[in-house]
Amino acid sequence: MSNPVHIDIDGTIAIVRIDNPPVNALSQSVRAGIVSAIQETDANTNVRAVILICSGSTFMAGADIKEFGKPAVPPLLPDVVAALEAAQKPWVAAIHGNALGGGLEVALGCHYRIAQVGTMLGLPEVNLGLIPGAGGTVRLPRLILMADAFAMITSGKPVTAATAKLTGLIDAVSNTDLLRDAVAFTKTIIDLPKPLALSVKPIKEPLTDDEISAKSKAITAKSRGQLSPKVAAETLAAIQALDAQSGLTLERENFLKLKADEQSDALRYIFFAERSVSKIPSIKSAITKPISTIGIIGGGTMGAGIAASCLLANLNVTLIERDTTSLEKGVDRIIAILHASMKRGLIDPARYDALTGNLSSSTDYINIADADFIIEAVFEDMNVKKDVFAKLDAVVKPEAILASNTSYLDMNALAAATAHPERVIGLHFFSPAHIMKLVEVIHTDHVSDDVLATSMALAKKLRKLAVPAGVCDGFIGNRIMSAYRRAAEYMLEDGALPHQIDAAMKSYGFAMGLFEMQDLAGLDIGYAMRRRKDATRDPNERYVDIADKIYRMDRLGRKNGAGFYIYEDGKTPIHDPDIDALVIAESKRKNIARTSMTEVEIMDGLLAAMADEGAALLSENIAASPEAIDVVMVNGYGFPRWRGGPMYQFKRSA
């Protein structure tokens, strides 16, 4: 392995460059290279200052997570950061891309920091079930206000270079050439006395006990059982009263405890799973076609969200609707989404104008004749979709790709109804499509490798988590959900009550229980889906009538104020004893002797149903790996991320 750390001398300034693709992770060779660079530049009497910069797309994006499962090899990152602080010459961190975790901690060990506009700087360790482990909790609140450091570390959310300049996290922003600006900046400090190391400075505006208690309460409520945000808050609270060295010792102790915890193992698993599932080895040699213009058919809930996603990815979008009234409504929905993004500061007004300028609309399919990729999001009706695809076949160019956003319909049947099935694919987005990262990419029996590869590339361009899935009713996520919903309904007849099942799921870490979620989606949606399956349902299969009975009482869920729960304010579920009575009466009607269930027994039953259906999906080649199932369930169905996913849990319990 060649040395990833290179030193060039430019007059009295040394340029130390890290080159460790893909993200300049702080692997052992990088850590050792930095330490030797400190020794070399300290010993070089011509050198009066040092710039630390990275090659490639980003500054150091953190410790090398791939090393976590192995024995730590010196120099350890905390020691590298301490060595930077103690360097004889001032070190200037020149930052671009992402300075995250250990990468930002290295920058905090430097004496100055300059970042390129658009850089993201953060300590996202809590997302991996950790807390900063190389001095971040001690140095950051000595550079910026404790309140700002507390927010960054407990949330794991990065800040932009602009914000970092405002808070004092960085000293300068480069709007042009980072290295050139870093050299110019270094020349302004080169004759100044080397600044005090952060670790000998006081904490900036410590938080009061009341402030810490209020913040910690909010964190505990939001983290729903995940340890790391709470431990981060506790560590920061304790560090306020400690000198830097004692603080570093406490931080390291809490970091190592979390690193050994199963929650961190699960969070690191899902981090890598989300990056592995989008790789399809069998199409490595496929050709990814260029995409610049997207046609969206149907500007309803989903079509508008998908169109907005494509516009935000700098694609040109043409919306097609069935009539001018629907078209106007569709365009309004898309514009409203972009406007909301601007109001939230995600895009500036100039970008908003540019993106809306990339949107065109029509009721005439001829206006998407040159589109590279067409996504239909019309009614969930096979005939309507077949009619749309027939119209598309007649006008689009031969290399255009046709995708359906169907939730349940048979993609093979839809593809077979077109002139060129090899260019038809399913893209199952999740609502709201411009926010949810997950998309299931449904490969039909005849889809070409190039079409599949191009679809995966489009999903990545939309910054989506693309999970390939085979054709079946419900693909991966809805199939797993149907399975555990069935198990939950059996539990209702066998002895549990809706609020008990929902409580068990929330205790496990779900944001919402299954029955509250059905009230949110609308009991009419579930009722229509069950009716659609009546004709093909196995008559010997146990069928639970409870949800049908509630629907037939005109209780549609939140949308009309009552479903499994009552909603006086339209959103807060209130336990309804009448529903309990209905459930108990159903058990009696079916002569089922009810037995009470603990929350653990309920969750064990639901997890077993998920794992069983997951095994079936794997055996049917609908899901390519257990990781694919876990990525879908964590990113589309509220499975607690720090539990890794149903297949991760099944493997751990085996």
Q: Which residues are catalytic?
A: 105, 125
Q: Which of ligand NAD, ligand T1G, none sits in contact with 130, Cβ below 5 to 8 A by type?
A: ligand T1G
Could you tell me the smallest distance in angstroms from the CB atom of residue 618 to ligand NAD? 23
Q: Does 130 bind ligand T1G (CB under 6 A)?
A: yes
The item of ligand T1G, ligand NAD, none sharing an interface with residue 65, based on CB under 5 to 8 Å by kind, is: ligand T1G
Decide if residue 33 touches ligand T1G (CB under 6 A). no
Q: How far is CA 590 from CA 543, 586, 587, in A?
A: 11, 6, 5
Closest to ligand T1G by CB, 80 vs 611, is 80
379 binds, among ligand T1G, ligand NAD, none (CB under 5 to 8 A by kind): ligand NAD
Of 84 and 368, the one with the shorter C-beta distance to ligand T1G is 84
N- to C-terminal Cα separation, the chain: 38
Residue 143 and residue 244 in contact, taking contact as beta carbons nearer than 8 Å: no
Of 241, 422, 434, 261, the residue nearest 337 (C-alpha): 434
**Rounded to whole angstroms, what are the CA distances from 76 to 85, 130, 595?**
15, 16, 55
Burial tier of 425 (Cβ tally within 10 Å: 0-12, 13-18, 19+)? buried
Q: What is the DSSP letter of 197?
A: P
Q: Which does 378 bind (CB under 5 to 8 A by kind): ligand T1G, ligand NAD, none?
A: ligand NAD
627 forms part of the interface with ligand T1G (CB under 6 A): no
Say if residues 7 and 43 touch (Cβ distance below 8 Å).
no
Q: ∠ at Cα 382 (303, 636), nearest 5°?
A: 50
- Window contacting ligand T1G (CB under 6 A); options: 127-135, 410-418, 485-493, 645-653: 127-135
What does 275 interact with, of ligand NAD, ligand T1G, none (CB < 5 to 8 A by kind)?
ligand T1G
Q: How far is the CB of 520 from ligand NAD (least distance, A)?
A: 11
- The encoded tokens of residue 72 equal 């730590």
DSSP for 523-582, written as a single string: HHHHHHHHHHHHTTS-TTS----HHHHHHHTT--BGGGTBSSSB-SSSSS-B--HHHHHH
Which of the ranges 99-107, 403-411, 528-536, 545-553 carries the binding residues for ligand T1G, by CB under 6 A?
Answer: 99-107
Print the binding letters for residues 60-89 with ligand T1G: x by CB under 6 A, - otherwise.
Answer: -xxxxxx----------x------------
Burial class (CB in 10 A: 0-12, 13-18, 19+), 623: buried
Q: Which of 25, 609, 610, 629 binds ligand T1G (CB under 6 A)?
A: 25
Question: Which of 47, 100, 439, 617: binder of ligand T1G (CB under 6 A)?
Answer: 100
CB nearer to ligand NAD: give 13 or 462. Answer: 462
Beta strands in 159-240 (DSSP E): 159-160, 172-174
C-alpha 431/C-alpha 306 separation (Å) is 9
Name residue 50's beta-bridge partners. Answer: 14, 91
Q: Which is nearer to ligand NAD, 330 or 614 (CB)?
A: 330
When asked if residue 313 is in the footprint of ligand T1G (CB under 6 A), the reply is: no
Hey, how many other C-beta atoms are within 10 angstroms of the C-beta on 180?
11
Quickly list H helices, 396-522: 411-416, 449-461, 477-494, 498-508, 514-521
128 binds ligand T1G (CB under 6 A): yes
Helices 227-239, 244-259: crossing angle, 10 deg rounding:
170
Residue type, 374: I
The per-residue b/e assignment along 492-521, b for 16 or more CB within 10 angstroms, e otherwise, is bbebbbbbbbbbbbbebbbeebbbbbbbee
Q: Which of 133, 303, 468, 614 binds ligand T1G (CB under 6 A)?
A: 133
User: Which tokens is 287 given?
Assistant: 């050709």
CB of 182 or CB of 297, closer to ligand NAD: 297
* Min dist. Cβ of residue 21 to ligand T1G (A): 8
Which residues form the interface with ligand NAD (CB under 6 A)? 297-303, 320-322, 326, 330, 377-380, 384, 388, 405-407, 428-431
What amino acid is encoded at 271 in this protein? Answer: F
Q: Which of the choices ligand NAD, ligand T1G, none does residue 303 contact, using the CB cut-off of 5 to 8 A by kind?
A: ligand NAD
The piece of 93-101, 178-186, 408-416, 632-640 that touches ligand T1G (CB under 6 A) is: 93-101
Binding to ligand T1G by residue 153, rule CB under 6 A? no
CB of 156 to ligand NAD, least distance (A): 28
**CB of 270: closest distance to ligand T1G in angstroms?**
12
22 counts as binding ligand T1G under rule CB under 6 A = yes
Q: How far is CA 1 from CA 6, 40, 53, 72, in A?
A: 14, 21, 20, 18
Closest residue to ligand NAD, judged by C-beta, is: 300
Nearer to ligand NAD, 256 or 435 (CB): 435
In the complex, minimum distance from the CB of residue 57 to ligand T1G, in angstroms, rounded to a whole number:
7
User: Is there binding between residue 23 and ligand T1G (CB under 6 A)?
Assistant: yes
Judged by the rule CB under 6 A, the positions of this chain that interact with ligand T1G are 22-23, 25, 58, 61-66, 77, 98, 100-102, 105, 124-125, 128, 130, 132-134, 136, 272, 275
